[in-house]
Structure 1
Amino acid sequence: MNKHPQHLKGQRFRQALEDSGLSGAELARLLDLENDQNVTNWKARGVPAYMAGQVAMTLAVEREWLEGKDVPMRNSNTARGSAPKAANDSPLYVLEPMAPWDSHTPLEEDEVELRLYKEVELSSGPGKVARTEVQEITGPKLRFSRATMRSCGVDPSNAVFATNSGNSNHPLILSGATVGIDKGMTRIIDGEIYAIDHDGHFRIKFLQRTPNGVKMRSFNSDEYADEDYDFDQIMAQRVVILGRIFWWSSIRPLKGPSLI
């Protein structure tokens, strides 16, 4: 066992940075950091967990390797291209043609199919109020990149997708947006966004722990007030955290509503 994990992580970061041809200041700009002091610190301590995925992707190395684990620095996916070049060298971004696909198109090597989660109305007997439940729907699938999930720390086997409804998080997450959910992360990290099964209703909320339970917050706080639930209410109202929202996307109609 390595007795100095921080030293190893720092060494790995220095090696990746040198191999990329970027300076610390250039990397800081690519990562949108306020200054390059963070990069200087990482050379000694290693990259913090919350930045590891983004740094690994930028430097074109494996996240697990950057974190000091016994894996190759690169594999067939990360070796496809090199790290972004500095200004005047070559463009940082290259637009490539989009490739249309359908359900019969074979998956690429770096793709997986995510399952759909949906709010479903359950059958009820005569005179009974219909209930809903959030459950997996067979059929629809979403193609997704393993590299993207890896950069977010998501195990592909834990990833599902769903569709957002309503404007409680407008304009951050639009109504009709597709969201990716990591079912492997149900532990509350204050300020993260989670998918929730609230008594059979699918909801997307920022969560914050409180001494007596949990607070749910909406990005659109002007229209949607914070909601506080104690542990008894959580049990009584069947509040279940489905997982952390790690990705979202949405179409933008030509005559869509104003975002501001």
Structure 2
Amino acid sequence: MKKNELLTLGERLNYAMSQAGMSQGMLAKQAGMAQPTIWRIATGRANGSSKILDIAKALNVRPEWLVSGEEPMTADDYSNKPESKKNENHLGDNGSDNASVSEDEVDVVLLKDIEFAGSDDHLMKDGDSGHKVRFSKSTLQRVGANPSGSSVVCFPIRGGSMEPAMPDGTTVAVNLEDKKIVDGKIYAINENGWKRIKLLYRTGPDTVSIRSYNSAEFPAEEKSLQDLEILGRVFWYSVLL
């Protein structure tokens, strides 16, 4: 089976094991888990595991690829991309020297929580964490955001629904101008005041499937688009390991 034909976690796991020359027993030993658990995932009898990060590390693949098929497969593939060779983004302090920001860069306020995303100016100020995230203007243009950063909000996510790819505390950047649903992409959504970061899939003209990377604990939800507000699309995130 070709890599672009791998549709399930089990298929990607089997492919990664074959590429690494590992048996289920070898992988189980390196990941620190029982071989029957590997067998259940590989055969499709389990669609997730709390040890996905350990499995991905043992196979030298990205957990995002293993869980959802999001390319690239390995970190080496990612580092070879031209746009990833330059570290364009960093966390700083609001009190940092503004002179250090070049004409090609902008600082975006890091909010305390998703609850402040899309709020009015007063709440946005209350939600200021005291830190900023710096982006190059070319990055913002590439994702369709305003180069001034005015349409971008950044905040940490909470909880374990998007693990292992996006664990608790992951900082995300959302383009509030990008609300078009593309299957399998990550969005900030608002459902009657309940704001979350989720994967979205269109299931019909007026319906959408809300999914989590941690599907074992957070099963998919079917919702009407009329009951859902798309705040924007996540175009960048940063994880501290």
TM-score by length of 1: 0.49
User: Paired residue for 1:150?
Assistant: 141
- Do the aligned partners of 2:187 and 2:197 also contact (CA within 8 Å) in 1? yes
1:144 Cα shift?
1.6
Return the alpha-carbon distance in structure 2 between the equivalents of residues 243 and 99 of structure 1.
21
**Rounded Cα–Cα distance in structure 1 between residues aligned with 2:196 and 2:86:** 36
Stretches of 4+ moved more than 6 A in 1? none
Structure 1 contact 133–201 (Cα < 8 Å) conserved: no
Q: Distance in 1 between matches of 2:222 and 2:239?
A: 29
In structure 2, distance between residues paired with 1:218 and 1:94: 30
Letter in 1 for 2:124: I
- The answer for the alignment partner of 1:258 in structure 2 is none
Structure 2 CA distance for aligned equivalents of residues 148 and 178 of structure 1: 17
* 1:170 maps to 2:189: no
Cα deviation for residue 230 of structure 1 reads: 2.3
For residues 1-260 of structure 1, what are the structure 2 equivalents within 5 Å?
Answer: 58=82, 103-106=95-98, 107-117=101-111, 118-120=113-115, 135=119, 137-138=124-125, 139=128, 140-146=130-136, 147-155=138-146, 156-211=149-204, 212-231=206-225, 234=227, 239-252=228-241
CA distance in structure 2 between the aligned counterparts of 1:103 and 1:222, rounded to whole angstroms: 42
Q: For 1:66-120, what per-residue CA distance to the aligned partner results, in whole angstroms no more than 9, with x for missing partners?
A: xxxxxxxxxxxxxxxxxxxxxxxxxx9699xx99765231123222121345355
Partner amino acid, structure 2, of 1:215:
S
* Aligned CA distance change for structure 1 residues 222 and 158 (closer, same or farther; 3 Å): same
Which SS does the other structure have where 2:162 is aligned? coil
Distance 1:230 1:112, change over 3 A: same
Contact 2:185 2:200 in 1 (8 A): yes
One-letter code aligned to 2:174: I
| Aligned amino acid, residue 163 of structure 2 | H
Contact 2:151-2:175 at 8 Å conserved across structures:
yes
Identity, % of aligned positions: 29
The letter for the 2-side match of 1:243 is: G
Distance in structure 2 (CA, Å) of the matches to 1:167 and 1:231: 24
Asked whether the 8 Å contact 1:190–1:207 carries over to 2, the reply is yes
Distance 1:166 1:100, change over 3 A: closer
- AA paired with 2:164? P
CA distance in 2, matches of 1:99, 1:134: 21
Helix, strand or coil: the match of 1:160? strand
Q: Which amino acid aligns with 1:222?
A: A
Does the 8 A contact of 2:161 with 2:213 survive in 1?
yes
SS of structure 1 residue aligned to 2:124: strand
CA shift in 2, pair 1:105/1:189, >3 Å: same
Partner of 2:150: helix, strand, or coil? helix
State the AA in 2 paired with 1:153. Answer: G
TM-score, scaled to structure 2: 0.52
Bigger fraction of residues in helix = 2
Q: Name the SS of the counterpart of 1:137 in structure 2.
A: helix
Tell me the equivalent position of 2:51.
none
Do the aligned partners of 1:185 and 1:244 also contact (CA within 8 Å) in 2?
yes
Q: Once the 2 structures are TM-superposed, how far is the Cα of residue 178 of structure 1 from its aligned partner?
A: 0.7
CA distance in 2, matches of 1:181, 1:172: 17
